[in-house]
Amino acid sequence: MNNITRQQSRGAASDGSRAGADGDAALAREAKELRAALHRAAHQYYTLDAPELPDAEYDRLFRRLQQLEAQHPQLRLPGSPTQRVGGAVLAGFAPVRHALPMLSIRTQTDTTSAGAERFDQQVRSYLQSEQRRLQLPADDPRHRSEPLCQEALDALAGAALAFVAEPKFDGLAMSLRYEDGVLVQAATRGDGETGEDVTQNIRTIGQVPLRLHGAPPLLEVRGEVYMRRDDFEQLNEEQRRRMAAGDRNARSFVNPRNAAAGAVRQLDPGIAAQRPLSFFAYELGQITPAQEGGPDFASHWQVLQALRDWGFPVSELVRLAHGPAELAAFHADLGAQRDALPFDIDGVVYKIDALALRRELGFVTREPRWAVAHKYAPQEELTRVLGIDVQVGRTGKLTPVARLEPVFVGGVTVTNATLHNELEVHRKDVRVGDTVVVRRAGDVIPEVVASLPDRRPADAQAFVMPAQCPVCGSDVVREEGEADHRCTGGIVCSAQRKQALLHFASRRAMDIEGLGEKLVDQLVDRDLVHTVADLYRLQPDDLVGLDRMAEKSAQNLLDALQQSRQRPLHRFVHALGIRHVGERTARDLAQHFGSLDALMAASPEALLQVPDVGPAIAQSVHLFFAQPQNQEVIAQLRALGLAWQETADPYKPLPLAGRTFVLTGTLPGLTREQAQALLEAAGARVASSVSKKTDFVVAGSAAGSKLARAQKLGIRVIDESGMRALLADS
Ligand code: IVH
């Protein structure tokens, strides 16, 4: 493993035809190293649920080995990772022999739309060769006598093939066996022939039905166990919190799939039950045959419908497609939605719809000819850490940030990735010079998820949190029980001042357009602005002459400042940047107290009366307003003419106060922002995900998983007119 790097494995791919004894020895050595690296990675992935190599890197090494073995058959050894699929069975779970093997899917390597075209062609040329076999003389060993199915004949006559296109869920495959409608066994894929009995753990997944109604006496359902992104974030946050508190049993996970695999293969079902898992069904395994009264499906589309009827979650994203162009469109559409989906996918799967045609096409080794996976660009990649910088945030928090060799991942070039705090740096053991796994999924900020100690250079440097603030030189402290280090410089620290100004001006706070990072840097560095009050004292002369500031842009900024003098109270409270007070809490506080004076005068006890305000928030708010320098800035702002819109009567109850709404899909007459504003004006909260605490889901057209979740949890679903009625009533 040591001396295989991405560069080498790529570079070597171009000189596969090297000749001579030396060359042979070098190739044999390379193949050996590739085998060792792949074995090790497979063990980490399948058996330990602790993968080190990103999939993209694994695939590269795997393909290089396949290529070497194809060009030099003497290098192909029986134990080679290319000769088997899946992983070994972990001690601790009983082995389960699958009644029908669990197959893998061939991956179409090109990530462009050509993948769909190629699949369609491959199916067609296979059918053509079968047709030719029909015409061979009866004594030819290749002769075939049974006729082709109707769908095959239609395709050969030029009809478009019918496909089902599905997301390729990034979780782990599961086979669920039901006898007389009762879940009797759940098994992992294992090596495809034999998996592990994880029934106890799977029973804890709410989305997996334990009893079926109207299902045939014998039914095996194949599908994917996965973890939603929000559930993953929450779980990891909780695990990190426990680790910080010294809990040795806690561990955090690299990605949702890894977390899902860890939960499924958790030996203690009690712990598995606490891990939030989800499930999608996508295939059948063994089933009562039609001759014995079982269902007689003609198409996969019918199968998916039946799975839904029996109570299994089937993704709303699956589509019927005719011909390769529709497959390619599906690939592109889903690719565009990928970041916004509530779960990870790593590609799409194209499947032949007609089951008769599937039987006709059959398998090559363990891969069916009737399905192919078409992947997306990877969301995890390897790169090197060039340095670890420390950034100072608005509240003085010091954040270690890895400076990276630029790497293309999740659709963007990443050069920096947060390491959160010192504890995280040490837990992941990231050192300068290390090769690390970088992940970027969705619009989540890029993250270093793991380092590869195997590839660590001898001179790699461990990270040490500085004792003095790198910006202002003040002492750095870490409070008891907290993971974060903070600069004690407060307003003295220009980094903190800059961040505070940027936050004050940000879109969701005072929304001062044009006051961005470059400008704030100059204003602070030239001593033009110390506090947020100074912003409103700026004169045209102060601005003209700054970098990229012409008269026009200076006037625009002054106009924007002028406009920001009147904002709703909650925005102003948010803009103050009080520790622990985000947008939501600011809203709650503004709503509860109605005026800034009432809020400033509130005792910790009074603050605790606000819904969802706990002791930490109450303390922080109280402390903030008790500081003379904060009172002074607020007085200055008032003197400068700032007047936030306060609720006239703080005791007037808001009609939808205490109600939580979730918006999903497209409403006919309102944008999402407008709907949210209307609801919030009536005192409701608008949350981004559906939970037991949700009171109403407002669903428009093309509502997806949130709607499904609401229905599952029995939450009231209304449409736009239902929402308007609630608002009108109130
Ligand atoms: S069908 C051959 N459908 O991909 C048919 N698999 O390499 C068997 N997967 O381990 C699988 N999404 O975990 C199928 N919509 C989907 C899938 C899917 C993800 C995974 C599955 C399996 C792997 C196949």
Residues with a CB atom less than 6 Å from ligand 1 = 103-105, 166, 168-169, 173, 189, 224, 282-283, 349, 368, 371
Residue pLDDT, tens place only, 326-361: 999 999 999 989 988 999 999 999 999 999 999 999
Residue pLDDT, tens place only, 379-432: 889 999 999 999 998 888 999 999 999 999 887 899 999 998 998 899 889 999
Q: Is 37 a residue whose pLDDT tops 70?
A: yes
Ligand 1: which atom is nearest the Cα of residue 170? 19
Q: Can 22-83 and 660-729 be said to share one CATH topology?
A: no
Closest CA to 313 of 717, 704, 718, 661: 704
Q: How confident is the model at residue 87 (pLDDT cuts 50, 70, 90)?
A: very low
CA-proximal residue: ligand 1, atom 9 (nearest):
168
**Token pair listed for 126:** 């296979």
Most confident of 82-91, 143-152, 587-596, 676-685: 143-152
Closest CA to 523 of 503, 548, 500, 498: 498
Residue pLDDT, tens place only, 258-278: 899 989 988 788 888 888 999
Domain definitions of the chain by residue range: 22-83, 164-375, 380-455, 488-639, 660-729
Q: What is the pLDDT of residue 252?
A: 80
Q: Is 22 a residue whose pLDDT tops 90?
A: no
CATH class of residue range 488-639: mainly alpha
Q: How many angstroms separate the alpha carbon of residue 348 from the centre of ligand 1?
A: 9
Q: Ligand 1, from 46, 172, 224, 257: best to mutate by most atoms within 8 Å of Cβ?
A: 224
Q: Is 648 a residue whose pLDDT tops 70?
A: no
Q: What is the pLDDT of residue 17?
A: 45
Q: What is the pLDDT of residue 443?
A: 67
Q: How many angstroms separate the alpha carbon of residue 104 from the centre of ligand 1?
A: 7
Q: Are strands 716-718 and 367-368 parallel, antiparallel or unpaired?
A: unpaired
Contacts of 92 (CB under 8 A, 6+ apart): 267
Residue pLDDT, tens place only, 100-115: 999 999 988 766 778 8
Ligand 1: which atom is nearest the Cα of residue 370? 2
Q: What is the pLDDT of residue 13?
A: 39
- Provide the annotated active-site residues: 168
Q: Ligand 1, from 282, 343, 366: best to mutate by most atoms within 8 Å of Cβ?
A: 282
Ligand 1: which atom is nearest the Cα of residue 166? 15
Q: Is 729 a residue whose pLDDT tops 80?
A: no
Q: How many angstroms separate the alpha carbon of residue 337 from the centre of ligand 1?
A: 20
Helices within 276-345 (DSSP H only): 300-309, 323-337
Q: Is 85 a residue whose pLDDT tops 60?
A: no
The whole-chain average pLDDT of the chain stands at 88
Of 20-29, 205-214, 704-713, the poorest mean pLDDT is in 20-29
Ligand 1: which atom is nearest the Cα of residue 105? 7
Contacts of 131 (CB under 8 A, 6+ apart): 148, 152, 156
CA-proximal residue: ligand 1, atom 18 (nearest):
168
CA-proximal residue: ligand 1, atom 13 (nearest):
173
Q: How confident is the model at residue 69 (pLDDT cuts 50, 70, 90)?
A: confident
pTM score, two decimals? 0.62
CATH architecture, domain defined by 660-729: 3-Layer(aba) Sandwich (3.40)
Average pLDDT value for residue range 454-477: 93
CA-proximal residue: ligand 1, atom 21 (nearest):
173
Closest CA to 111 of 161, 165, 56: 56
In terms of C-beta distances under 8 Å and separation of at least 24 residues, what long-range contacts does 34-39 make, across chains too?
34/4, 34/9, 34/61, 34/64, 34/65, 34/68, 35/65, 35/77, 35/79, 35/80, 35/81, 36/1, 37/1, 37/4, 37/61, 38/62, 38/65, 38/81, 39/81
The whole-angstrom separation of Cα 120 and Cα 122 is 6
Q: How many angstroms separate the alpha carbon of residue 370 from the centre of ligand 1?
A: 12
The whole-angstrom separation of Cα 435 and Cα 450 is 9
Angstrom distances, CA of residue 121 to CA of 109, 163, 323, 373, 374: 15, 13, 10, 15, 15
Q: How many angstroms separate the alpha carbon of residue 535 from the centre of ligand 1?
A: 57
Q: Ligand 1, from 102, 163, 169: best to mutate by most atoms within 8 Å of Cβ?
A: 169
CATH class of residue range 22-83: mainly alpha
Angle between helices 494-505 and 517-525 (to 10 degrees): 140
Q: How many angstroms separate the alpha carbon of residue 105 from the centre of ligand 1?
A: 6
CA-proximal residue: ligand 1, atom 3 (nearest):
282
Q: How confident is the model at residue 619 (pLDDT cuts 50, 70, 90)?
A: very high
Residue pLDDT, tens place only, 121-161: 999 999 999 999 999 999 999 999 999 999 999 999 999 99
CATH superfamily of 164-375: DNA ligase/mRNA capping enzyme (3.30.470.30)
> For residues 163 and 702, which has the higher predicted lDDT (pLDDT)?
163
* Fold classified for 380-455: OB fold (Dihydrolipoamide Acetyltransferase, E2P) (2.40.50)
Q: How many angstroms separate the alpha carbon of residue 173 from the centre of ligand 1?
A: 7
Q: Is 300 a residue whose pLDDT tops 70?
A: yes
The whole-angstrom separation of Cα 35 and Cα 353 is 37
